[in-house]
Structure 1
Amino acid sequence: MNAVPNGRLPWDGTPAHVRADVEGLLGARVIDAATRPGGFSPGVAARLHLDDGRRAFVKSAGPEPNPDTPGLHRAEAIDAPTAAERFGAAFRGWRLLSAGEDLTGLDPWARRNLTRLAALEDAWEEASAGPTLAHADLRADNLLLTADRVVVDWPWACLAAPWFDLVTTLPSIHTQGGPPPAGVFAAHPVARHADDDAVTSVLAALAGYLVRAGRRPPPGLPTLRAFQKAQGDAALDWLRRRMESSP
């Protein structure tokens, strides 16, 4: 069966043996399923109504159209790595751009400051270190709200500084109609004891990743690159303001 308009596979499009396994684990039969919008996973994300009156939320995915998705789902069940281990291979955007990649269309300020940005990014792993369990992918479209709870998935969970989630979330909040990141961060309790240089380094790594990712071909998820570009623009603007206001 074809995917629903937002890219999700409907519950009844899941292979029969997977549906049977889910019902076996839940101990009840599914009588209704509602696909949940948001996010970029191309598989199933559905609220299930069971014949015993209970409800459940299920996600599933196969290797098509994005072969990385099943691994992300499985990652929610293993021990959390550090942020450096989780994102070390990805948070190298400025360094990769400065190593000879095509810079056509790159923001002029970023192009002029590419060497400085790469140097800031280079320190992000040490700057992000900490014992806090971070979600690392909080976005308005990646949450389910109930009357009394917030439900999230955890495929990118990692150990990081207490302010890591706030830094990585605020550009997304801004692109989705929220306030500018700088004021929100400065007023938040977790930022009270944050080291300014460490925050700038992590923000540089995030912006470099998003800016570079937004310039690349889509990986089988058609809306992802535009979303990354918008977040990259917001993160870069915040980073530029921090760098220009620093002594």
Structure 2
Amino acid sequence: MSPAGPFPLYYPGDARRAFGSDESTRRFARVAQLEPGSRILVLGCGPISAPVLLARDLGCSVVAADTEDSLLTLVRERVRALALGDRVETRRVDLEKLGFPEGEFDAILAQGRVFYPLGAGLTALRRVLAKRGRIGLTFPARVGRYTAKSALEFWERRLGMQPLLPRELLGELESHGYEPESVETLTDLELDTLYRDVESRLENAPAADAELMRQEIAIHREQNGKAGVSYAFLVGRRKEPGEKPPASRDRG
């Protein structure tokens, strides 16, 4: 296993986000059983509407957090314009030490950004998640029947591990103290659309970050529109030691 590249994985701040649609946010909110007053950590800011939707439409108390002040600015401005300052707090965070109390949040949502190696992220975020709270997390996944060697090698260098199949990602959720609930991946068309938007925004990106992203896009396109590695969105519930598994849905 090769050492991981730098985290968070680079992503242009103004590009569209995987799983960042209002529909995706509402679907997560239903699974997480969010209600007025639920306290939510949205990790990763940019051109996504999750903090506003969760606060304005669902009455949640939201902390919108990122590692860069520049990415928090858009959220601050929108929150101010919509007079949501009593429901949405923006905060710059250090990923090594988030600075939130244990069990602070009823749900944690990270749409389209990959902030941590998988195991490290699941461990760090579980600590600030309330009992029975839900996490919605984005991470690369191996998809399709065949994944080119070049794609596997690229992603192993980036992640410090070979990309896992969606069912294997659910297994990682379980092994890190969560009850796995669902996983979805971007379709080939959705990934193509995402990469076109990202590519158009790399001109002003830091040179090293832009080069890695261009390599990622090029490796995807080598597969003639058939993704070998895509992005997945995992949902799991914090599970306590000794907790019994849920009742089987199989009626025999």
Q: TM-score, normalised by structure 2?
A: 0.28
- Which has the bigger relative contact order, CA under 8 A and spacing at least 6? 2
Q: TM-score, normalised by structure 1?
A: 0.29
The structure where strand makes up a greater share of residues is 2
- Determine which structure has more spread, i.e. the larger CA radius of gyration: 1
The structure where helix makes up a greater share of residues is 1
